[in-house]
Amino acid sequence: EMGRTPLFVFVQKEVGDRLVATPMVSVSEEINRGVTGDGGSSLHSKYGARVVASRLKGSNYSRPSVFIQNYFTVKIERIFSEETYYPKTEVLGALVHLRPRPRPLVDVKPASLFAFLNACFKGRMRGPSRPALKSLSKICPPEVARFILESLRIDGNSVPLAQLSVTDLATLALLWETYI
């Protein structure tokens, strides 16, 4: 069992945003969810389009998001302006609360999860349009990649790694560790 002492860390706001980030979503998912902007207007309103665009491009979901969220619940408690510091800085700060989970979402060795995420999310493999099967085939034989994805009922030809949940990615890491 993991330790239960909550942590409060002070980081740049951008780092805090990465720690709490969720998987990227596709336009079709947003349409199916009925994302609306201002007061029930359509997806194509100027506000709705901004909501979708912000969730599609520049997602902060990354290695730190997955790794930290597998072992902790994460919440940004407060954002601090640049005037808070002396001397004044040019960046915003964030107080991040990390509360250890009683058990990880997936009981994978931290070193294995770290290695898996480093291999999967590096370079161009991180792009939101790259299918999971193609990404995984770069770090293990294609047959193994296909088997691992099918074990989780993930369509590796159409779903990118950046759209998989923390639990899915940690489970992939556990299976990757088992079969490689």
**How far apart are alpha carbons 76 and 98 in whole angstroms?**
9
Question: Average pLDDT, whole number, for the chain?
Answer: 81
Arithmetic mean of pLDDT, 147-176: 93
C-alpha distances (whole Å) from 60 to each of 66, 71, 76 are 11, 18, 14
**How far apart are alpha carbons 101 and 70 in whole angstroms?**
8
**How far apart are alpha carbons 176 and 91 in whole angstroms?**
38
Please determine, for residue 57, whether its predicted confidence score (pLDDT) is greater than 50.
no
Residue 26: predicted pLDDT = 55
In the DSSP assignment, the letter for residue 85 is S
Quickly list DSSP for 17-83: HHHH------HHHHHHHT---GGG--TTSHHHHHHHHHHHTT---SHHHHHHHHHEEEEEEEEE-GG
Residue 153: predicted pLDDT = 94
Instruction: Render pLDDT for 36-46 as a digit per residue (tens, 0 to 9).
Output: 444 443 344 33
C-alpha distances (whole Å) from 52 to each of 62, 121, 126, 142, 161 are 19, 23, 19, 33, 19
Arithmetic mean of pLDDT, 150-178: 93
Give the closest residue to 162 by CA, choosing from 118, 141, 133, 132: 132
**How far apart are alpha carbons 63 and 74 in whole angstroms?**
14
Structure token pair of residue 86? 């002396």
